[in-house]
């Protein structure tokens, strides 16, 4: 198996249908689509997920995002593993281009496409990625222990995921587990890249309802503090 694509889903039937349509239409070669149902309540999507996934697993009660993704990783067989949100839409040839970046860089463990969120933020305690190619033609390497990519759409070499043991499940619900896996990869001397040749649409926060936003922000702050406490030599100036 060349590629495993893992998505965690909580309800959101229409968004997930859009996601599946783009994956099926624009993913070339041999792949498996692994869906982790994180305790959806809508029976329509529960049934749909069982039918549409190549590999399906359901949690009857909600677990952390890290635990759900780790379950998908454990079920996967691909040489490359894409860990993605279900509120994304992929373009044609996305995998061929991202795989090329990983194959052309021996120490690469992870590559991310460009997304709206990366374009919007384009910094993390600095104005821009140091090596960002403004022509959008060349993949570029992130600065070790200084620059990160978010967890919205990540393509890993399986060996890199295995080297770090997957996602760290100490983080509650969701958030900061993506920062953590960046730093875990750096600690194992893997390189991280962004490939601006591939643009993936990511809606963002599609699963979080408006009434849950205050609670989500509290958890985000707690998880971020925990992340900083684990890597103090690199995150003293992060806020």
State both tokens at 45.
């999507």
- pLDDT per position as a tens digit, 117-127: 777 665 444 45
Q: For position 148, what pLDDT does the model report?
A: 93
CA distance 116 to 201: 7
Q: Which residue has the tokens 């009857």?
A: 60
Burial category of 151 from C-beta neighbours within 10 Å (exposed 0-12, middle 13-18, buried 19 and up): buried
- pLDDT per position as a tens digit, 1-10: 899 999 999 9
Q: For position 206, what pLDDT does the model report?
A: 58
Residue 226 · residue 170 · CB < 8 Å = yes
Q: For position 204, what pLDDT does the model report?
A: 67
Domain that holds residue 224: 3-235
8-state DSSP, 210: G
Q: For position 35, what pLDDT does the model report?
A: 98
CA distance 151 to 149: 7
Of 96, 100, 73, 97, residue with least CA distance to 84: 73
Between strands 191-202 and 108-115, the pairing is parallel
Does residue 70 sit in helix, strand or coil?
helix
State how far Cα 162 lies from the chain centre: 16
Q: What global pTM score does this model have?
A: 0.93
Q: For position 74, what pLDDT does the model report?
A: 98
Long-range contacts: 232-237, Cβ < 8 Å, 24+?
234/145, 234/146, 234/183, 237/125
Residue 208 · residue 126 · CB < 8 Å = no
- Domain at 181, CATH number: 3.90.550.10
Instruction: Report the domain count for the chain.
Output: 1
Of 129, 141, 234, residue with least CA distance to 183: 234
CA distance 195 to 183: 19
Each residue's pLDDT, cut to its tens digit, for the chain (239 residues) gives 899 999 999 998 999 999 999 999 999 999 999 999 999 999 999 999 999 999 999 999 999 999 999 999 999 999 999 999 999 999 999 999 999 999 999 999 999 999 887 776 654 444 568 888 778 899 999 999 999 999 999 999 999 999 999 999 999 888 899 999 999 999 999 999 999 999 999 876 655 554 467 777 889 999 999 999 999 999 988 87
Q: For position 208, what pLDDT does the model report?
A: 53
Residues 6+ apart with CB under 8 A from 54: 32, 33, 34
């Amino acid at each position: 198996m060349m590629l495993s694509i893992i998505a965690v889903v909580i309800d959101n039937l229409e968004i997930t249908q859009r996601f599946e349509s783009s994956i099926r239409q624009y993913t070339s070669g041999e792949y498996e689509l692994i869906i982790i149902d994180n305790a959806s309540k809508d029976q329509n999507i529960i049934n749909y997920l069982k039918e549409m996934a190549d590999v399906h697993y359901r949690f009857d009660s909600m677990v952390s995002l890290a635990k759900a993704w780790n379950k998908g990783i454990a079920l996967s067989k691909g040489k490359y593993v894409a860990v993605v949100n279900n509120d994304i839409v992929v373009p044609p040839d996305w995998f061929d281009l991202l795989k090329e970046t990983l194959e052309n860089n021996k120490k690469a463990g992870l590559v991310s496409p460009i997304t709206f969120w990366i374009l919007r933020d384009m910094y993390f305690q600095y104005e821009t990625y140091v090596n960002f190619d403004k022509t959008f033609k060349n993949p570029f390497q992130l600065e070790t222990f200084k620059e990160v990519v978010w967890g919205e759409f990540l393509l890993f070499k399986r060996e890199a995921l295995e080297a770090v043991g997957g996602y760290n499940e100490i983080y509650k619900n969701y958030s900061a587990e993506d920062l953590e896996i960046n730093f875990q990869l750096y600690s194992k001397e893997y390189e991280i890249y962004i490939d601006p040749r591939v643009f993936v649409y990511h809606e963002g926060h599609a699963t979080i309802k408006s009434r849950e936003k205050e609670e989500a922000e509290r958890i985000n702050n707690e998880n971020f503090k925990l992340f900083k406490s684990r890597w103090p030599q690199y995150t003293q100036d992060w806020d």
